[in-house]
């Protein structure tokens, strides 16, 4: 290995370390926010933290000092119930003060239970499943019409893929060759009523998206190097949109929440909060 | 009498808008020949997007384009746009996006296709959504002016258009102002509030009533929302009796909107003329209007009943 390659490797390893540390911090915010709110969706928020961290702190071009920057990359949280994760990311990135996070779901707060476009850094309200990929496709089309280089990202839940509109958008984006569009499916395998394969089976999910004309990557969606690798691959894919099937763990980062569906839409007890924060460590 | 459909006028207006504003984009769900968006598609293929038979995606993509700075016109049949009602509510209206939902074949105008392709509930469904504007043009001239005017107003709109050729009521110099009803005939005995295709019938009814010495004023309510409440209350005070008439269910449409206003501000005897809580059926358009009591003669009958109830 040449010195320059070693240097790059070291630099990348530092970046990964920084991102993992950021994700840990975001997870603590998420736990605290949902505890303070008394309700929310911790499981699906924790599963996608690494993906959101990679997007906002590595891949996407955006500027919290200029949220309306015309050339910024766009992100749509189609699985809107992961709002706590998005809000924590935006606060950590500097879109609004971190102390606002604890107002989640409270009356008068800008931090609505599901993403609201009144929040700095949120381009579109969401929460009703199945709509984000259509909206992202429209934005990607707008970019092409204006000859803009910005890219559009949408994060979908796997249970969300039960919605017919997801597949309407999937057929559309590939028909219009929206290579500036990247969808990420948070494949945590659980939906409200149980395992996705029991409630409404999605497998073979990779083949489904491929059959719809998409470039597909399948990764460990809780592993930073794999997320970044897939996002880089999406950037250089031409002629078609990319979907990243990100296999994740619901409740990732807190031992007693991992893979437990009960934490889809329930907050933690005081005792659980204490253990969770201890496990996540740090300050 | 010159006849032209409001969908035809929509197609013409889009071409003019395409010429003058490069931000105008048009989307259709595989009905571009019927909705007349094919005229725009032919002239501006790069700004026309066919989504196929996929109305939920139609609204979502239109919303995305609007977020990206475009003025999105999304078209299909009126009835099929209501298939994406929740997308319209949760995305387009909630975020006050610049999406113009311009839909054709409303009311009974899609006669022979039957109940599945007719739309008799859409005004109610759209006007209940916050931020939404609802416009029902009465003729081709008004349709063209309304479409053009809405392109330059920020925010979502539902524009209800027709398949059938109907009489031209307005001249070239007509000025459309959103939310401002238009008085088309004077009269102090009673008021007829009409929208869309029924404006012409209301004018005919007022002529018939005149022969029986009843002076009915006719008001064209082209904007169902925001409703011109002032003129409704003013005219109710002047006349003391009102009839509403629409090619739509008697529930939740123009009649409902007027009753909401007068019930609170100035109750007077009222008749609501519309489709009486039933589905449509196949038949020629005129046959259906006749069967469902949407002719001038039906307005006359209600008007005379009301005259007897006036205090």
> Is A28 part of a structural domain of the chain?
no
pLDDT band at B262 (very low <50, low <70, confident <90, very high): very high
CB atoms within 10 A of CB B117: 18
Name the one residue in this structure whose structure tokens are 């930073």. Answer: A224
CATH assignment of the domain containing A129: 3.40.50.970
Q: Are residues B223 and B88 in the same domain?
A: no
B54, B60, B94: residue with CB nearest A138: B60
Which percentage of chain B shows pLDDT scores above 90? 98
pLDDT value for A13: 85
CATH code for the domain in which residue B26 is found: 3.40.50.970
Q: How many CB atoms lie within 10 A of CB A282?
A: 9
Q: Which stretches of B76-201 are assigned E, i.e. beta strand?
A: 99-103, 133-135, 157-160, 166-167, 182-185, 190-194
Q: Is A133 on the interface with B (CB under 8 A)?
A: yes
Q: Does A171 touch chain B (CB under 8 A)?
A: yes
Residues B179-227 have pLDDT tens digits of: 999 999 999 999 999 999 999 999 999 999 999 999 999 999 999 999 9
Pair of tokens at residue B1: 């009498």
Answer yes or no: are the C-beta atoms of A94 and A65 closer than 8 Å. Answer: yes
**Integer Rg of chain B from CA:** 19
Contact state of B65 with A131 under an 8 Å Cβ cutoff: no
B219 and B145 in a single domain? The answer is: no
pLDDT tens track for B123-152: 999 999 999 999 999 999 999 999 999 999
CA-based nearest distance A146→chain B, Å: 9
Residue A125 lies in a domain: yes
Question: Which of A135, A144, A241 to substitute to test the interface with B, most B CBs within 10 Å?
Answer: A135
CA dihedral A186, A189, A191, A197 (to 10 degrees): 130
Model-level pTM? 0.96
Judged by CB atoms closer than 8 Å, whether chains meet at B70 and A145 is answered as yes
Report CB contact under 8 Å: B64, A137: yes
**Pairing mode of beta strands B133-135, B223-225:** antiparallel
- The catalytically annotated residue of B2, B55, B86, B142 is B55
> Residue A281 is encoded by which pair of tokens?
């460590």
CA gap A188, B131 in Å, rounded? 36
Report how many Cβ contacts below 8 Å link chain A to chain B: 100
B152 and B217 in a common domain? no
Same domain, B151 and B288: no
Q: Can you read off the two tokens belonging to residue B307?
A: 């005259």
What region, left, alpha or beta, does residue B104 occupy, with left being phi > 0 and alpha being psi -120 to 50 degrees? Answer: beta
Residues B121 and B269 placed together within one structural domain of the fold: no
**Any B CB within 8 A of A114 CB:** no
The pair of structure tokens assigned to A190 is 């659980």
CA A148/CA A158 separation, integer angstroms: 30
User: For position A3, what pLDDT does the model report?
Assistant: 67
Q: Output the CA torsion A7→A8→A13→A15 (10° steps).
A: 120
* pLDDT band per the 50, 70, 90 thresholds, residue B297: very high
Q: At what angle do helices A3-37 and A224-235 cross, to 10 degrees?
A: 110
Token pair listed for B240: 């003391």
pLDDT given at position B299? 98
B217 within a domain of the structure (yes/no): yes
What ipTM was reported for this prediction?
0.95
Residue pair B192/B308 in contact by the 8 Å Cβ criterion:
no
Q: What is the dihedral of CA B165, B29, B146, B263, to 10 degrees?
A: 90
CATH for B217: 3.40.50.920
Tokens 């519309």 label which residue?
B274
Please indicate, yes or no, if residue B193 is contained in any of the structural domains.
yes
Single out the residue of B39, B29, B150 nearest to residue B82, CA to CA.
Answer: B29
One-letter-per-residue 3-state SS of chain A: CCHHHHHHHHHHHHHHHHHHHHHHHHHHHHHHHHHHHCCCCHHHHHHCHHHHHHHHHHHCCCCCCCCCCCCCCEEEECCHHHHHHHHHHHHHHCCCCHHHHHHCCCCCCCCCCCCCCCCCCCCCCCCCCCCHHHHHHHHHHHHHHCCCCCCEEEEEECHHHHCHHHHHHHHHHHHCCCCCEEEEEEECCEECCEEHHHHCCCCCHHHHHHHCCCEEEEEECCCHHHHHHHHHHHHCCCCCCEEEEEECCCCCCCCCCCCCHHHCCCCCCHHHHHHHHHHHCCC
Q: Is residue B170 scored above 80 in pLDDT?
A: yes
pLDDT higher than 70, residue B311 = no
Distances (CA, A) of B308 to A131, A198, B219: 54, 67, 22
Domain that includes residue A112, residue range: 51-250
Domain total in chain B: 2
Domain count, chain A: 1
Residue B135 and residue B197 in one domain: no
Instruction: Tell me, yes or no, if B46 comes closer than 8 A to chain A by beta carbon.
Output: yes
Determine whether B201 is an active site residue.
no
Cβ partners under 8 Å of residue A86, min gap 6: A52, A77, A115, A122
Which pLDDT value is given to residue B310?
A: 81
**Residue B176 located in a structural domain:** no
Flag whether A281 is in a domain: no
In a domain, B124, yes or no: yes
B63 to chain A: nearest residue by CA? A135
Chain A hits for B59, CB-CB cut-off 8 Å, are: 134
Select the residue from A138, A168, A174, A177 to test the B interface by mutation, using most B Cβ atoms within 10 A.
A138
Q: Mark whether B151 and B189 lie in a shared domain.
A: no
Same domain, B54 and B157: yes
User: How far apart (Å, rounded) are the C-alpha atoms in residues B291 and B278?
Assistant: 12
Q: Residue A36 falls within a domain, yes or no?
A: no
Evaluate whether residue B23 is within a structural domain: yes
Taking residues B7-15, report their average pLDDT. 98
Q: What is the mean pLDDT of residues B28-54?
A: 98
Block means of pLDDT (10 residues each) for chain A, 283 residues, are: 68 91 97 96 97 97 97 98 98 98 96 97 97 98 98 98 98 98 98 96 98 98 96 96 98 95 91 96 74
Task: Please tell me if residue B62 touches chain A, with a CB cutoff of 8 Å.
Answer: yes
Range of the domain at B161: 3-167
Q: Tell me if B204 is assigned to some domain.
A: yes
Q: Is residue B249 part of a domain?
A: yes
B72 and B43 part of one domain: yes
Rounded to the nearest integer, the mean pLDDT of chain B is 97
B65, B87, B95 ranked by CB distance to A142: nearest:
B65
- What's the pLDDT score for residue A12? 83
């Amino acid at each position: 290995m040449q010195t320059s390659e070693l240097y790059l490797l070291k630099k990348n390893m530092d970046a990964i370390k920084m991102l993992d540390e950021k994700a840990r911090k975001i997870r603590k915010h998420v736990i605290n926010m949902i505890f303070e709110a008394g309700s929310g969706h911790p499981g699906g928020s924790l599963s996608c933290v690494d993906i959101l961290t990679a997007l906002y702190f590595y891949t996407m071009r955006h500027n919290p000092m200029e949220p309306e920057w015309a050339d910024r990359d766009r992100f749509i949280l189609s699985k809107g119930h992961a709002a706590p994760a998005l809000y924590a990311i935006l606060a950590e990135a500097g879109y609004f003060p971190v102390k606002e996070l604890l107002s989640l779901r409270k009356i008068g707060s800008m931090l609505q239970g599901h993403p609201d476009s009144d929040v700095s850094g949120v381009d579109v309200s969401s929460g009703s499943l199945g709509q984000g990929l259509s909206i992202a496709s429209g934005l990607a089309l707008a970019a092409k019409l204006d000859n803009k280089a910005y890219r559009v990202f949408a994060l979908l839940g796997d249970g969300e893929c039960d919605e017919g509109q997801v597949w309407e958008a999937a057929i559309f984006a590939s028909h219009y060759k929206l290579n500036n569009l990247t969808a990420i499916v948070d494949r945590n395998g659980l939906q409200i009523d149980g395992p996705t394969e029991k409630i409404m089976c999605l497998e073979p999910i990779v083949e489904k998206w491929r059959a719809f004309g998409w470039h597909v990557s399948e990764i460990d969606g809780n592993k930073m190097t794999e997320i970044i690798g897939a996002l880089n691959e999406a950037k250089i894919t031409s002629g078609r949109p990319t979907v990243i099937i990100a296999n994740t763990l619901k409740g990732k980062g807190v031992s007693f929440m991992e893979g437990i569906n009960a934490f889809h839409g329930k907050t933690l007890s005081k005792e659980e909060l204490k253990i969770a924060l201890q496990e996540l460590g740090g300050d | 009498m010159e006849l032209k459909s409001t969908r035809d006028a929509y197609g013409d207006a889009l071409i003019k808008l395409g010429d003058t504003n490069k931000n105008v984009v048009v989307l259709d769900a595989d009905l571009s020949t019927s909705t007349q968006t094919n005229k725009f598609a032919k002239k501006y293929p790069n700004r026309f997007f066919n989504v196929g038979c996929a109305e939920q995606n139609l609204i979502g993509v239109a919303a995305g384009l609007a977020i990206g700075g475009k003025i999105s016109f999304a078209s299909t049949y009126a009835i099929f746009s209501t298939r994406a009602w929740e997308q319209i509510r949760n995305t387009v209206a909630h975020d006050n996006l610049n999406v113009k939902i311009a839909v054709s074949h409303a009311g009974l105008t899609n006669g022979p296709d039957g109940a599945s392709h007719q739309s008799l509930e859409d005004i109610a469904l759209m006007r209940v959504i916050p931020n939404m504007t609802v416009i029902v043009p009465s003729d081709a001239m008004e349709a063209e002016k309304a479409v053009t005017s809405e392109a330059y107003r920020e925010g979502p709109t539902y524009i209800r258009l027709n398949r059938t050729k109907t009489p031209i009521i307005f001249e070239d110099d007509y000025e459309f102002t959103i939310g401002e009803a238009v008085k088309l005939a004077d009269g102090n005995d009673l008021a007829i509030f009409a929208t869309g295709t029924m404006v012409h019938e209301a004018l005919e009814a007022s002529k018939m009533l005149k022969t029986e010495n009843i002076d009915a004023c006719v008001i064209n309510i082209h904007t169902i929302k925001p409703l011109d409440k002032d003129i409704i209350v003013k005219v109710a005070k002047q006349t003391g009796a009102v009839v509403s008439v629409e090619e739509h269910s008697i529930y939740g449409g123009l009649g409902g909107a007027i009753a909401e206003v007068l019930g609170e501000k100035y109750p007077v005897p009222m008749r609501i003329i519309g489709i009486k809580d039933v589905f449509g059926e196949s038949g020629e358009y005129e046959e259906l209007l006749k069967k469902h009591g949407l002719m001038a003669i039906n307005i006359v009958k209600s008007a005379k009943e009301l005259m007897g109830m006036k205090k």
